[in-house]
Amino acid sequence: MNMNWIGILKCPLTGLDLRILTEEEVMLLKADATAHKLWQADGSVMNQTLEQGLISSDQSYIYPIINGIIILLKDLALTRSADKFIKAEKDKDKQLVQNFYNQKGWFVNEEGNYEDAVIYEDLRDVSKDYLKKCHDRVSRYLNSSGTYMLDAASGALQYPDYLQYSANYTFRVCVDFSFQALSEARKKLGEKGIYVLADMCNMPFKDNVMDGFVSLNTIYHIPKSEQALAIRELYRLLAKNGKGVVVYDWYKHSVWMNLYLLPFRGFVFIKNRLLGLISKLLGKGEPAKRLYFYAHTYTYFRENLPPFKLAVWRSLSVPFMRYYIHPALFGKRILNWVYTKEEKDPELCGRKGEYPMFIFEK
């Protein structure tokens, strides 16, 4: 595994440089693990075989590399010393997201689609051209080439359209909270990819090392108190003259989608309340959440982020398309008309529609 790029990494616990473990060090660590003298930083005993890894320059923490994926989550760091344990509790909302994508979201069904797309996207033929053109929009706000393109969180790179963003970059740096996501991304990128299991709110990279970044439909799955922090982390990593794009979801803050979906949302609200009431009466408690989601307002981001421009990624939400867009009812013509309107006034559509793009430059 060629790791000439290791200089862009830093230890997520100490902030120090990382280096590759030597073969002798790996053998000693294996012996320590066998003797139960090697722990994860959360205090649990190391129970996997270590074949390759990184170590912080002060030798406090070791980070395994598993199937080409660098494990740089704080609680999964390894240490020989009990005084290096960290006592932070796992965030329940982050754990919910991680579990969904490790256990369901990034697995392919019989039709060859990821479960995440089946649940949250419109995969019908009538919508494909419109969706592709929206995916293509991202490229125009990025530098056309560079060394490192950061994709946070990359997921499984489920659409071929996503590959264009890093086509002329040396490396695409895929960061995700899900090991399954990175395993899928590696199948598509191979040696062009750098795969890092990490928390977007504590990016294990040095300042100003990324020539570009994308973060697509991810930030709103981060706890609401940390969303601005995650975007500021992306900006911290951006090199001079670098460009980055964050795709967000206004959800109930989208004026246009509120107008068109109000009756449907009212029905869903009443249905969910009834189902919750029935579950309580039957002693089943509240239905389990699938994913954490929270949408902030435009004003919140203006007040808490570095300067950015706003443009539209997509005006229409998935529920809108499923309810209103149909082949027999001029669906493709409607979507072409919407796309033309978006191109004429991208900032207005980004403010009033469903999915805006925050565009950053240094």
Residue 205 shares a structural domain with residue 340: yes
- Tell me the pLDDT band of 350, cut-offs 50, 70 and 90: very high
| Residue 205 shares a structural domain with residue 338 | yes
Of the pLDDT bands very low, low, confident and very high (cuts 50, 70, 90), residue 267 is low
3-state secondary structure (DSSP) of residue 330: coil
Q: What is the pLDDT of residue 91?
A: 86
In the structure encoding, which two tokens stand for residue 306, read together? 């570095």
Radius of gyration of the chain (CA): 22
Give pLDDT tens digits for 86-124: 887 778 889 999 999 999 999 999 889 999 999 999 999
102-111, 202-211, 231-240, 257-266: which range is least confident on average? 257-266
Task: Judge if 110 and 239 occupy the same domain.
Answer: yes
Percent of the chain with pLDDT over 70: 92
Question: Distance between the two ends of the chain, CA-based, in angstroms?
Answer: 32
Residue 41 tokens, joined:
């930083």
Query: Average pLDDT, stretch 172-198?
Result: 97
Of the three residues 84, 115, 148, the one that is the final residue of a domain is 84
Is the same domain home to 64 and 147? no
Q: Is 207 left (phi over 0), alpha (psi -120 to 50) or beta?
A: beta
Give yes or no for residue 309 having a pLDDT over 80. yes
Average pLDDT over residues 311-318: 97
Output the pLDDT for position 276.
Answer: 63
Whether 1 is covered by a domain: the verdict is: no
- Tell me if 348 is assigned to some domain: yes
Closest CA to 45 of 32, 28, 63: 32
48 falls within a domain: yes
Instruction: Please give the Cα distance from 329 to 331 (Å, whole number).
Output: 5
Which residues, at least 6 apart from 294, have a Cβ–Cβ distance to it below 8 Å? Answer: 220, 223, 224, 227
Q: Give the model's pLDDT for residue 283.
A: 66
Question: Taking the alpha carbons of 36, 37, 41, 43 in that order, is the dihedral positive or negative?
Answer: positive
Instruction: Name which of 195, 174, 234 is nearest 64 in CA terms.
Output: 195
Residue 149 near residue 244 (C-beta atoms within 8 A)? no
89 within some domain: no
Mean pLDDT confidence for 214-224: 97
**Residue 356 belongs to some domain of the structure:** yes
Question: Based on the domain organization, do 199 and 310 belong to the same domain?
Answer: yes
As a whole number of angstroms, the distance between CA 300 and CA 293 comes to 16
pLDDT in tens, 226-235: 999 999 999 9
Which of 200, 254, 236, 159 lies closest to 74, judged by CA? Answer: 200
Q: pLDDT-based confidence at 48, cuts 50/70/90?
A: confident
The pLDDT value given to residue 87: 81
pLDDT of residue 135: 98
Q: Which domain holds residue 329?
A: 98-252+290-361
pLDDT of residue 281 exceeding 80: no
Query: Could you give the angle at the alpha carbon of 202 between the alpha carbons of 201 and 203, nearest 5°?
Result: 105
CATH number for the domain spanning 203: value is: 3.40.50.150
pLDDT tier, 214 (very low <50, low <70, confident <90, very high otherwise): very high
Kindly state whether residues 16 and 143 are assigned to the same domain.
no
Q: Is residue 93 part of a domain?
A: no
Q: What is the DSSP string of 79-122?
A: ES-GGG---PPPPHHHHHHHHHIIIIITSB-TTS-BHHHHHHS-
> Above 70 in pLDDT, residue 288?
no
Instruction: For residue 262, name the pLDDT band (cuts at 50, 70, 90).
Output: confident
HSE of 10, CA atoms in CB hemisphere, 13 A = 14
What is residue 147's three-state secondary structure? Answer: strand
User: What does DSSP say about strands 238-247 and 309-314: parallel, antiparallel, or unpaired?
Assistant: unpaired
More confident residue, 356 or 37: 356
Residue 187 lies in a domain: yes
Q: How would residue 260 be classed by pLDDT, with cut points 50, 70 and 90?
A: confident
Q: Is the pLDDT of residue 265 over 80?
A: no
Name the token pair of 59. 């030798």
State the pLDDT at residue 101: 94
Share in percent of the chain as helix, strand, coil (round to 5): 45, 20, 35
Length of the chain: 362
Parallel, antiparallel or unpaired: strands 39-40 and 53-56: unpaired
Instruction: Provide the pLDDT for residue 82.
Output: 87
Are residues 118 and 185 both part of a single domain? yes
User: Are 72 and 131 found together in one domain?
Assistant: no
Q: How many domains does the chain have?
A: 2
Q: Are residues 45 and 139 in the same domain?
A: no
Q: What confidence tier does 129 reach under pLDDT thresholds 50, 70, 90?
A: very high
State the average pLDDT for the chain.
92
Q: Residue 324: pLDDT above 70? A: yes
Q: Which of 26, 57, 84 is the last residue of a domain?
A: 84
Residues 65 and 188 placed together within one structural domain of the fold:
no
Segment holding 270, helix H or strand E: helix 255-281
Asked if residue 269 is part of any domain, the answer here is no
Asked if residue 132 and residue 13 are part of one domain, the reply reads no
**Paired tokens of 269:** 């609200």
- The model's confidence at residue 49, banded by pLDDT at 50, 70 and 90, is confident
Based on the fold, state whether residues 181 and 33 are members of the same structural domain. no
